[in-house]
């Protein structure tokens, strides 16, 4: 049994990264002593309910004082600085653990660490198209960015020596461009077990979108897409489901929804209700650009919905690169949605079998792959320790 620290910024954000972190905790806690290093106080019971996980005996340690204070006071405003401070704290306490695991992208950790990358921070400023992957509060090559990089202590050679995982082929390619090493692609754990899709002829002819209510999710644009589809003569509607992390943006969405009886702004729902919405509707809609994987999209597919997604990022894998489901702009989305809604034969061709989604993206597959990576990393660490330890049996005068 090893001492393992899982490093994650804010479990209560309840996004795809937090789903990964909860599944990592559950995968490891039976065989190891696991400590969660984080900036906030997580409600594990609430998170278990939300993600349908069963995390129990995990210790929680707050990463110092400054980073938690920044997070509580400013939210996401200094997001990258908070991650840099989290990285610094974990590195300083690395000798207390046998293994460090980051589930919040690449940090400046020990060389034998495991790092799961949802999208790279690109601390070394190696990418040309940084607007596709970097947090929007950071200006390219700014003084703030240089400060964060210095605090994070990320070294290119250390990153190359880590066990790196990426959530999609697209993300893996971006990481390779940034650091010169290609991660293993391990798709995130999608909770497919709860989904029991309704027969197609009993499902509502409407759309569901899942995800945090924030500007990058482009909820306003999705409402306008549904406007366009209705203007084509389709009697359809939209359910907007997910927790709010940007109150100002939520008010913008509320203003639009209040003028449209076919838009339901439901916010955060109990897991059972979320699953029911997906399984009882024919279509899904997602609008985040350069999505690194798209767990919400995979959940829509697991529930039997046909998801429409932007033609960029890591979502291609979920929809099998079907051009009918990939759109370049809101206007293009309306065209493609209209075509699918008007063609029952095409709908039949585009639908996914639940067992296929479970095999490719299910949670047990993820946990098995992660446990194997942990076992391999711990084995390498043990071998390295044995090689550097002196053979005391050969010390003169030593008696056994």
Tell me the pLDDT of the chain (400 aa) as tens digits: 899 999 999 999 988 899 999 999 999 999 999 999 999 999 999 999 989 899 997 999 999 999 999 999 998 788 889 999 999 999 999 999 999 999 999 999 877 899 999 988 877 767 777 666 666 555 666 788 889 889 999 888 889 999 999 999 999 998 999 899 999 999 999 988 889 999 999 999 999 999 999 999 999 999 999 999 999 999 999 999 999 989 999 999 999 999 999 999 999 999 899 999 999 999 999 999 888 898 899 999 999 999 999 998 888 889 989 999 999 999 999 999 999 999 999 999 999 887 888 888 999 999 999 999 999 999 976 555 555 555 544 444 444 3
| 338 in the same domain as 368 | no
Place of tokens 């291609």: 316
User: How many angstroms separate the most distant Cα atoms in the chain?
Assistant: 93
Tell me whether residue 312 is in a domain: yes
pTM of the model: 0.81
| CATH number of residue 13's parent domain | 3.40.50.2000
What's the token pair of residue 115?
Answer: 């790092």
89 by Cβ neighbours in 10 Å (0-12 / 13-18 / 19+) ranks as: buried
Contact 53, 72 (CB under 8 A): no
Count of domains for the chain: 2
| 210 in the same domain as 164 | no
Tell me whether residue 195 is in a domain: no
* DSSP output for 14-73: -SHHHHHHHHHHHHHHTTSEEEEEESS---HHHHHHHHT----S-EEEE--SHHHHHHHH
Contact 213, 253 (CB under 8 A): yes
Place of tokens 């997602």: 286
What's the token pair of residue 400?
Answer: 């056994």
Indicate the helix (H) or strand (E) that contains 171. helix 169-179
- Give the whole-angstrom CA distance, residue 124 versus residue 109: 15
- Give the whole-angstrom CA distance, residue 352 versus residue 337: 17
Neighbours of 52 (CB within 10 A): 15
Tell me whether residue 400 is in a domain: no
| 122 in the same domain as 64 | yes
Sequence-distant (≥ 6) Cβ neighbours of residue 107 within 8 angstroms = 7, 83, 86, 87, 90, 91, 115, 152, 154
Tell me whether residue 389 is in a domain: no
- Give the whole-angstrom CA distance, residue 221 versus residue 103: 30
Question: What confidence score (pLDDT) does residue 235 get?
Answer: 98
Question: What confidence score (pLDDT) does residue 120 get?
Answer: 86
Question: What confidence score (pLDDT) does residue 391 get?
Answer: 57
Tell me whether residue 86 is in a domain: yes
| 248 in the same domain as 344 | yes
Task: Report residue 184: phi and psi, to 5°.
Answer: -75, 135
Q: Can you give the residue range of the structural domain that contains 18?
A: 3-187+363-382
**What DSSP designation does 353 have?**
P
């Amino acid at each position: 049994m090893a001492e393992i620290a899982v490093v994650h910024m804010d479990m209560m954000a309840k996004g795809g990264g937090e789903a990964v972190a909860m599944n990592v905790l559950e995968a490891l806690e039976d065989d190891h002593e696991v400590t969660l290093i984080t900036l906030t106080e997580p409600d594990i019971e609430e998170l278990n309910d939300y993600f349908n996980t069963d995390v129990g005996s995990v210790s929680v340690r707050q990463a110092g004082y400054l980073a938690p204070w920044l997070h509580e006071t400013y939210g996401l405003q200094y997001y990258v600085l908070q991650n840099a401070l989290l990285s610094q704290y974990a590195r300083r306490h690395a000798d207390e653990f046998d293994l460090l695991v980051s589930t919040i992208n690449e940090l400046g950790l020990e060389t034998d660490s495991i790092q799961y990358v949802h999208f790279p921070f690109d601390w070394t400023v190696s990418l040309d198209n940084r607007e596709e992957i970097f947090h929007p509060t950071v200006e390219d090559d700014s003084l703030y960015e240089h400060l964060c990089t210095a605090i994070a202590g990320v070294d290119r050679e250390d990153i190359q020596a880590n066990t790196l995982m990426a959530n999609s082929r697209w993300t893996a390619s971006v990481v390779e461009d940034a650091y010169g090493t290609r991660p293993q692609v391990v798709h995130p754990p999608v909770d497919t077990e709860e989904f029991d899709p309704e027969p197609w002829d009993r499902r509502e002819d409407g759309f569901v979108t899942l995800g945090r209510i924030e500007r990058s999710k482009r909820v306003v644009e999705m409402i306008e897409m549904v406007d366009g589809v209705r203007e084509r003569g389709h009697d359809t509607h939209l359910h907007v489901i997910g927790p709010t992390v940007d109150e100002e943006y939520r008010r913008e969405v509320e203003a639009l929804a209040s003028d449209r009886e076919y838009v339901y702004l439901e916010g955060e729902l109990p897991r059972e209700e979320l699953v029911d919405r997906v399984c009882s509707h024919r279509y899904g809609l997602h609008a985040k650009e350069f999505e690194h994987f798209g767990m919400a999209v995979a959940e829509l597919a697991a529930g039997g919905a046909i998801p429409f997604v932007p033609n960029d990022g890591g979502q291609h894998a979920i929809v099998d690169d079907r051009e009918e489901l990939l759109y370049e702009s809101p206007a293009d989305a309306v065209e493609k949605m209209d075509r699918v809604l008007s063609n029952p034969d095409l709908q039949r061709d585009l639908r996914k079998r639940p067992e296929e989604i479970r095999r490719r993206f299910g949670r047990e597959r993820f946990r098995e792959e992660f446990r194997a990576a942990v076992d391999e990393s711990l084995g390498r660490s043990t071998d390295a320790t044995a090689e550097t330890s002196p053979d005391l049996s050969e010390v003169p005068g030593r008696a056994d």
